[in-house]
Chains A and B, each alone.
Chain A
């Protein structure tokens, strides 16, 4: 019996020829990522294991993303302690304020994640790394501390569920719409608890790396262990000047065993929106046309990439954000920000009346930069919409794609981007 790509990665990194779902293995990890608000605890715990040097100081990746730039003294002090501990351990790759980005974006964009390997991070959206054909897994600070000390992590081999996606993407429909559609289909933390999710098919092969990252990113919200797309020519091109280390084109065997296989024809899928409160309460945008909102947000590890920014710039070019809407863009990293600036998108967006803030997790974590207040109705291209997620419990969050956010920002009500004359 053959193996799925996730099983193969688990096998090769645990020194086995073969693994089966349910088996428990210790694997090598390629990189361990931690961030500002949990990082100091990781290092403290790591030292408590009796070690002083991390397993490989090039492979412990430290990022400041949740707390930067510090909005208050508490965070400023936490960041100072964090910087001190990173320095003390002589970590090579430290993406601090000025070189920052959202950790998951940094991990992929800076080449710290390689096809066929396992990378872990102390934030739930570490599933993003599957976009390049790696197993990306979210873990707690205990696992991070153990991996920093040993270069290893324990895993139970998950069963794999395949989503085979065919057809042609409609204009303005994005990977986010597919994520939300699958969320509606399988339920938020529902039928895919603990599963590995593999995306295949022509509509996936035609997706850019940005779209693949969005798709894998939100598999954690399906309750899955990881989401993965086998590397191909697009991956190769993307990694050419970024990848640190060697890698090969790993793929599932033709006779691999899947727990379930679902086929989706993307030609039928239009822009999709998740209603406030629950991620799986999704509806086609047509059902919400005319719904008023007052805040628009594009950013996060789900939708803060260059392609997302280019999409909203295309929609907003030469136009104005509606006077009743405050729109904020937070690019996912400094690199993304600079590219967007060089390509003219930032200028376009500022002219259209969009506020652009420095890369961070921003209001997605509800702790700073455009948090929601009482009575706010937010149209967000982020990843979570539960009550209180972006701040006030008296705010409502609709989740959707960047193209729906931008189209709606023009009119002040939820709008189908396919109806715009662009």
Chain B
């Protein structure tokens, strides 16, 4: 069970606004990438550590979260470094959806979630059942549960750990 407050984004939050151009060539590192995460999304986050200091555990978004066609993983590590533990959206862009799975950061698809939350609301997420509860509003939402492979990668702490363990044990990857 994960509990914390949420930040509600608009439609089409773009990957290249989550991590702006000047940081695309930075090292992939949660501490580093989280300093300027979301800098291009809202003016209020365009200050060092601004999004991180706001202390959001969840992001709630609508269509095509993290889209625009950037495959850089800084987007995911930036969010993780800022303390984000799950993102709920009506849809995700595939490049970052994939990266999120590979890092074990839940990108959770949930219809209507964007209409049921306001920034600052206290939410609770149960990864086992997929139920998202908005404690502040007394409402709950059923999200699409993670596929078994995704859950397995998540509990290994990401694809690197998952594959590293398999390689160490000499197990096939299939």
Rounded to whole Å, the gap between the CB of A98 and the closest CB of chain B is 22
Chain A residues lying within 8 Å of B149, measured Cβ to Cβ, are 24, 154
User: For A24, what are the chain B residues with a Cβ–Cβ distance below 8 Å?
Assistant: 147, 149
Give the chain A neighbours of B70 by CB distance below 8 A: 124
Stretch of A88-96, A144-152, A204-212, A228-236 on the interface side: A144-152
CB atoms of B28 and A41 under 8 A apart: yes
Q: Beyond A24-B149, A51-B167, A149-B163, is A386–B103 a contact (Cβ under 8 Å)?
A: no
Q: Is the CB of B21 within 8 A of A122?
A: no
| Interface residue? A26 (CB, 8 A) | yes
Bound form: Cα–Cα A145–B161 in Å: 12
Q: Is the CB of A48 within 8 A of B69?
A: no
Contact with B along A358-373 (1 / 0, CB 8 A): 0000000011000000
- Which B residues are CB-close (under 8 A) to A152? 173
Contact B21 A139 (CB under 8 A): no
Is A59 an interface residue when CB atoms closer than 8 A count as contact? Answer: no
Q: Is the pair A193, B28 in contact by a Cβ cutoff of 8 Å? A: no
Number of interface residues of B (CB under 8 A): 37
Q: Which of A37, A45, A149, A193 contacts B94 (CB 8 A)?
A: A193
Q: Is B24 close to A, CB under 8 A? A: yes
Interface status of A171 (Cβ within 8 A of chain B): no
Per-residue CB contact flags for chain A residues 147-165 toward chain B (1 = under 8 Å, else 0) read 0011010101000000000
Q: Which residues from A are CB-within-8-Å of B94?
A: 193-194, 223, 225
Least CB distance, B96 to chain A, in whole angstroms: 9
B85 at the interface (CB under 8 A from A): no
Asked if B16 is at the interface of the complex by the 8 Å CB criterion, the answer is yes
B159 at interface by CB-CB < 8 Å = yes
Cross-interface CB contact of B71 among A139, A225, A388, cutoff 8 Å = A139
Question: Could you tell me if A145 and B160 are in contact, using CB atoms closer than 8 angstroms?
Answer: yes
Whether a CB of chain A sits under 8 angstroms from the CB of B93 is yes
* A contact residues around B67 at 8 Å (CB): 189, 223
B144-173 CB contacts (< 8 Å) to partner A: 147, 149, 158-160, 163-164, 167-168, 173
Distance between B118 CB and nearest chain A CB, rounded to angstroms:
25
Query: Within the complex, what minimum Cβ distance (angstroms) separates B78 from chain A?
Result: 13
Contact with A along B26-37 (1 / 0, CB 8 A): 011000000000
Q: Which residues of A contact B158 (CB under 8 A)?
A: 142
B164 A50 Cβ-Cβ under 8 A: yes
The answer to whether A384 has its CB under 8 Å from any CB of chain B is yes
A140-B95, A366-B21 are known contacts. Are A220 and B69 too (CB-CB below 8 A)? yes
A127 to B53, CA, bound (A): 38
Is residue B68 within 8 Å, beta carbon to beta carbon, of the partner chain? Answer: yes
Measured between alpha carbons, how far is A125 from B71 in the docked complex, in Å? 10
Binding site for A on B (CB under 8 A): 12, 14, 16, 20-21, 24-25, 27-28, 40, 64, 67-73, 91, 93-95, 98-99, 102-103, 147, 149, 158-160, 163-164, 167-168, 173-174
Q: Which 9 A-B pairs have the closest CB atoms?
A: A189-B67, A142-B102, A124-B69, A140-B73, A140-B99, A189-B64, A138-B71, A24-B149, A37-B25
